[in-house]
């Protein structure tokens, strides 16, 4: 069975969805959740689902091998960034080539890059009067949101939509597609 490690920074709805999706699945399972936020709700969600969860600081992540060593010990087949806001260090990406993926709440290359996450993306989509938006699941490389695209799903943006309306549509796409795409990468 293949193993998945999830990195998250916030509430953890995507992480929880992945954990539940892979519970009792033969293709893979989530073995650990890692977060850069010691107060992230994802820690509670993981604990409630009996998944190991740890928080770390910036030094452990990017200036020492602490997080890298945790990953090496876990031997994940796939590392999934699910609302994780820090840029992955090159030395982690080099250790796990083509094994780190991310989900982004827009149709890349639009609305990607440093500082473009969550409500910032949705507000930009609405203020630019986009007719559609969506999600992008992509491989992670040394640049924010520039790795090879694995999958995209679209939704319409109505002229009356607020950023909150767009966020709800994106969340629905994430819940529907993210676990299936992750599973497809494990087989």
pLDDT digits (tens, 9 = 90+) for 65-79: 999 999 999 999 999
Residue 80's domain comprises 2-105+136-152+174-186
Helices (H), 23-162: 41-48, 58, 66-74, 90-95, 118-127
> Which of these, 75, 100, 90, 83, lies nearest to 1 by C-alpha position?
75
What domain count does the chain have?
Answer: 1
Percent share of the chain, pLDDT over 70: 100
How much is the pLDDT for 14? 97
How much is the pLDDT for 12? 97
Q: Which residues of the chain have pLDDT under 70?
A: none
Evaluate whether residue 159 is within a structural domain.
no
How much is the pLDDT for 105? 97
104 is catalytic: yes
Q: One of 23, 104, 143, 177 is an active-site residue; which one?
A: 104
Cβ atoms of residues 183 and 5 within 8 Å:
no
How much is the pLDDT for 179? 98
How much is the pLDDT for 90? 97
Evaluate whether residue 23 is within a structural domain.
yes
How much is the pLDDT for 51? 98
Residue 146's CATH number: 3.40.50.170
pLDDT tens-digit map of 77-105:
999 999 999 999 999 999 999 999 999 99
Q: What SS3 state is found at 36?
A: coil
Q: How many CB atoms lie within 10 A of CB 98?
A: 13
How much is the pLDDT for 64? 97
């Amino acid at each position: 069975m293949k193993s998945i490690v999830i990195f998250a920074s916030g509430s953890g709805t995507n992480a929880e969805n992945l954990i539940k999706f892979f519970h009792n699945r033969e293709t893979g399972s989530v073995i650990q959740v890692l977060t850069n936020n010691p107060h992230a709700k994802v820690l509670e969600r993981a604990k409630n689902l009996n998944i190991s969860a740890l928080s770390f600081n910036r030094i452990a992540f990017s200036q020492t091998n602490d997080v890298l060593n945790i990953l090496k010990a876990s031997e994940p087949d796939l590392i999934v960034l699910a609302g994780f806001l820090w840029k992955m260090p090159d030395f982690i990406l080099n250790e796990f080539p083509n094994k780190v993926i991310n989900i982004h709440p827009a149709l890349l290359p639009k609305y990607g890059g440093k500082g473009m996450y969550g409500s910032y993306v949705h507000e930009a989509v609405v203020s630019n009067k986009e007719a559609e938006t969506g999600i992008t699941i992509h491989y992670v490389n040394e640049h924010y949101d520039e790795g090879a695209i694995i999958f995209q799903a679209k939704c319409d943006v109505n002229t009356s939509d607020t950023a909150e309306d767009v966020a709800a549509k994106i969340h629905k796409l994430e819940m529907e597609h993210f676990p299936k795409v992750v599973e497809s990468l494990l087989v």
